[in-house]
Copies of this chain bind each other. A is one copy, B any other.
């Protein structure tokens, strides 16, 4: 029985993508060679990289708007550092909405002055700060669009003259935004895009080249751009699977179509969390509940063994909450079928009836 996979990441990818990826490991493009044994400089792989780069811009509506894309290594954690290396000359503004924001702040502090313009740390990050001011002399403003661990998501991004850098690791390609308001968008692949091991970085080119420091080659966006994301050997398999997932999304109708399904999935689950007296949502401001990661708790923890048994029996995987929040977390990334959410809701109702 195929599982209902609510893992927070690495996470579910489309079945058709898995099948193509598995096939390519044996015989790629009918070359009688595996995808993972060919040169990354071969025409066949260069085409994969170029498709992946192009599709990412196309899906975000950023083609021919001064943006370029890269598939790098190191995850969002490496971008925490690279963003600061490439952009931070004097001062940067950061919004602190959770674990990943805090880590981004820690790394950037090594390279310049940081202003934490807002933080929800006082309430274990269960809300998104509002009404904060971004200093007009900041080199950039950094935020995390979706907080996987706490289950919050930014709906309104600030209006500012300062360049905006956004870590969209856990909600990229899940909802329509005016992506041209951002100057750098980065995302570890392992949520809505592909397997762990590659990181998408979208860069408005005119933002670069303004810092005075010498940037090490591997941390320099301009170096990677000048080599079309092939400065050194890329993570071939993760990039290929990301390309397949982006093709899948395009064929499905793009972000606007997947957003409708994502909205429906979130509505079904949050309705049940609010209706069912056995459960309570973790996030305090409902408008900033994440449509990707729903965090919730049992009102009465003595029911946890029974609930755990029920969802395990239903073939549900990856529902345990992060250790810093506890309770449960249902991650509903693009590839999670609506059916899986319905199964989870049935289990929650079932628990109510039996309690």
When the two chains form their complex, are residues A25 and B22 in contact, meaning their CB atoms are under 8 A apart? yes
A321 CB to nearest B CB, Å: 13
Q: Mark A217-233, 1 if CB is under 8 A from B, else 0.
A: 11100000000000111
Interface size class of A (residues with CB under 8 A): 35 or more
Assembled-state Cα–Cα distance A107/B223 (Å): 13
A12 within 8 A of B: yes
Q: Chain A interface mostly helix, strand, loop or mixed?
A: loop
A3, A10, A188, A194: residue with the most chain B Cβ atoms closer than 10 Å: A10
A11 within 8 A of B: yes
Number of identical monomers bound together in the oligomeric complex: 2
Q: Mark A275-296, 1 if CB is under 8 A from B, else 0.
A: 0000000000000000000000
A7 within 8 A of B: yes
Contacts A1-B32, A38-B318, A188-B233 aside, 6 further interface pairs with beta carbons under 8 A come to: A11-B37, A36-B194, A38-B317, A73-B73, A74-B74, A107-B218
A→B interface (CB under 8 Å): 1-3, 5, 7-13, 18-19, 21-23, 25-26, 31-34, 36-40, 73-78, 80-81, 103, 106-107, 110, 188, 190, 194-198, 214, 216-219, 231-238, 241, 315, 317-318
